[in-house]
Amino acid sequence: MFLPFREEVRAALTAALDELGYETTDLGIEEPPEGVDAVLASSVAFRLASEAGAPPPKVAAKLCEAVDLADAEYVGRVETQGPYVNFLPSEAYFGGTLRAGQQDSFGSLAPTGDRVVVEHTSANPTGPVHVGRARNPIIGDAVANLLEYAGNDVERHYYVNDAGRQMAVFTWAYETFDESDLPEPERDRIEYDLVRYYRKGNDYLESADAADVAEAEAEIEAIMQGLEAGDEEAYARVSEVVEQVLSGMRACLERLPAEFDEFVRETRFMRDGSTDDLVERLKALDCAVYEEDAWQLDLSEYGIEKNLVFLRSDDTSLYTTRDLAHHEWKFANYDRAVTVLGEDHKLQAEQLRTTLDILGNDTSKLENVIYSYVNLPEGKMSTRRGTGVDLDDLLDEAIDRARDEVTSRLDTRIRDDDLDEADVERIAHQVGIGAVRYDIVSKQPTKAITFEWDRALDFEAQSAPYVQYVHARCCGILDEARAAGIEADASVDIGVLDTPEERDLLRVVARFPAVVEAAAEDLEPHQIATYTREFAEAFNAFYRECSVLNAEGDVQQGRLALVAAARHTIANALDVLGVAAPESM
């Protein structure tokens, strides 16, 4: 009910301002300070004080008198507090919230009609997914979920770099070295098997005799030229490696889970002529120059000091060249294009957007989410020589630690001691992987973070287990009531839910659709994580003070309905974040 409440506030404020003869486009509508009973407040009196020739509190009082709530259903009354005009809820606001919260889809917004493509992860298929870049699939998946909850038709894409030098090196190494030349794989999955060839190839190119390296480089160059020329044999050779490595990377990402609707290959835009067409258009631009044996765009006029190289002297294109064609394809097929990128791609993203704009594209369709990297306490990690920590290692460790925590709590009877071994394993996976996702997605993307186990897996602190347990507790209450033949009834007189804790919980439930709306507009899923912690605090206060199963009559049925609304709210909030909502813990 928060969203229609806000619309009623806007309408009432606008009408009051018109009546008083004030003109302003900023109504100053905001959430009131903690402890204020209002749902929304307006600070517009600050902006009108000069025009009115009166201090803000007097302006607020005059405005409050002019507000007409005759047509309002969810705004109950309006009052002032100093310079603020506060809008308080009606009983219909609370009753409507209780009823709306009974829907499984609570929090989902009306369809926008927009087709949105979210591209994320897109790690080069050269080996296992590295934990340092784990923030990309976790944030990317949450952004896609969030946009879907906000009413958009969302597709999740992984852009596969199958045309660059790295893949040519990988293909050459795969075809050159024997199993006997390689160390044992670190894990029994295909990308761990094949990455040994890539690492062996890089070592060879750095340490072999100059003549041998020159021969190898010639073969690598031939593969790259073959791809550029659309040679089917070269494409097939590279694809054999790419497909195998991607299958393993997909298996890793599915553990998060982060799944994709389409893996869009870079070579697609070479094979269909898009890249060649783009190169010709780039050459014709006024800012195109041929310098240092390469075609480049001089973007200094647009505030970018580093030139964009788009064609080498051997007529091979670069990653960004092909990505330009990729983005023009996105613009032709989608209403919005969201890309999740690491901070080391900021310059490339600026060059790409500027170039697309110069080419006449509508770059308002393009939105980027930039993130900093995840570190473990040991420090920064590197993938090239296999010295870092893979995402699989982090997830394994998370599950092991969660299993130990759950088992320990069962042993001390802090948690449900009727769980069998399969339940413990299920919860360990849900809590362990949920802890990783939640801890990473709950931070602002632009802030570098260090992942810490004790914080992520703390059942009592504001972490994933803390929030997940709210959902498990809701399920336990509803299951016990159902077993006793007691049903929730959201149609009860809302007046029976009149304690401060019940009303506070209803207020938090009511805000969820608006939190989805704001987080989607800002592309910031961490706003949802912040909301889940506020929600957990409100629910736990309700749980402590308001017995559900020991209540009677309408109070019991109403409280059960409130628990059901809470369960749908927290389940969907966790779903946006990609975190499992356990039914028992």
User: What pLDDT, on the 0 to 100 scale, is given for residue 164?
Assistant: 87
Q: Of the given ranges (97-101, 138-142, 321-325, 408-412), which has the lowest mean pLDDT?
A: 408-412
On the question of pLDDT at 198 being above 60, the answer is yes
Do 318 and 427 lie in a common domain? no
CATH code at 79? 3.30.1360.70
On the question of pLDDT at 372 being above 80, the answer is yes
Write out the H or E segment, with its range, that includes residue 530. helix 526-545
User: Do the domain assignments include residue 104?
Assistant: no
Do 142 and 72 lie in a common domain? no
- The pLDDT tens digits of the residues spanning 67-93 come to 999 999 999 999 999 999 999 999 999
Do 51 and 180 lie in a common domain? no
Do 567 and 508 lie in a common domain? yes
Q: Using CA atoms, how far apart are residues 418 and 142, in angstroms rounded to an integer?
A: 33
Split at pLDDT 50, 70, 90, the class of 407 is confident
On the question of pLDDT at 377 being above 70, the answer is no
User: What pLDDT, on the 0 to 100 scale, is given for residue 258?
Assistant: 94
**What percent of the chain lies above the pLDDT cut of 70?**
96
Do 311 and 399 lie in a common domain? no
Do 72 and 129 lie in a common domain? no
Full-model pTM? 0.92
Do 339 and 437 lie in a common domain? no
User: What pLDDT, on the 0 to 100 scale, is given for residue 386?
Assistant: 43
Q: Using CA atoms, how far apart are residues 523 and 438, in angstroms rounded to an integer?
A: 16
Average pLDDT for the chain: 92
- The residue range of the domain holding 33 is 2-89
Name residues whose C-beta falls within 8 Å of residue 191's C-beta, 6 or more positions apart in sequence: 125, 127, 128, 244, 245, 247, 248, 249, 252
Domain-terminating residue out of 325, 351, 375:
375
Q: Using CA atoms, how far apart are residues 31 and 280, in angstroms rounded to an integer?
A: 53
Do 169 and 309 lie in a common domain? yes
CATH code at 492? 1.10.730.10
- Contact predicate 550/481, CB 8 Å: no
- Alpha-carbon 168 to chain mean position: 32
User: What pLDDT, on the 0 to 100 scale, is given for residue 385?
Assistant: 41
- The pLDDT tens digits of the residues spanning 488-517 come to 999 999 999 999 999 999 999 999 999 999
On the question of pLDDT at 66 being above 60, the answer is yes
Q: Token digits for 24? A: 């302003």
Do 195 and 146 lie in a common domain? yes
On the question of pLDDT at 412 being above 60, the answer is no
Do 369 and 422 lie in a common domain? no
Please state the rounded mean pLDDT for residues 432-454.
88
User: What pLDDT, on the 0 to 100 scale, is given for residue 85?
Assistant: 96
User: Do the domain assignments include residue 178?
Assistant: yes
Q: Of the given ranges (128-142, 146-160, 317-331, 545-559), which has the lowest mean pLDDT?
A: 128-142
User: Do the domain assignments include residue 426?
Assistant: yes
On the question of pLDDT at 295 being above 70, the answer is yes
CATH code at 266? 3.40.50.620
User: Do the domain assignments include residue 419?
Assistant: yes
Split at pLDDT 50, 70, 90, the class of 531 is very high
Domain-terminating residue out of 71, 89, 107:
89
Nearest to 520 by CA among 531, 505, 507: 531
- The pLDDT tens digits of the residues spanning 210-254 come to 999 999 999 999 999 999 998 999 999 999 999 999 999 999 999
- Contact predicate 95/74, CB 8 Å: no
Do 71 and 163 lie in a common domain? no
User: Do the domain assignments include residue 432?
Assistant: yes
User: What pLDDT, on the 0 to 100 scale, is given for residue 405?
Assistant: 84
Domains identified in the chain, total number: 3
User: Do the domain assignments include residue 466?
Assistant: yes
Nearest to 479 by CA among 360, 403, 567, 395: 567
Do 33 and 174 lie in a common domain? no
User: Do the domain assignments include residue 100?
Assistant: no
Cα R_g (the chain), whole angstroms: 29
User: Do the domain assignments include residue 107?
Assistant: no
Name residues whose C-beta falls within 8 Å of residue 559's C-beta, 6 or more positions apart in sequence: 497, 502, 546, 548, 551
Please state the rounded mean pLDDT for residues 366-372.
95
Please state the rounded mean pLDDT for residues 398-425.
74
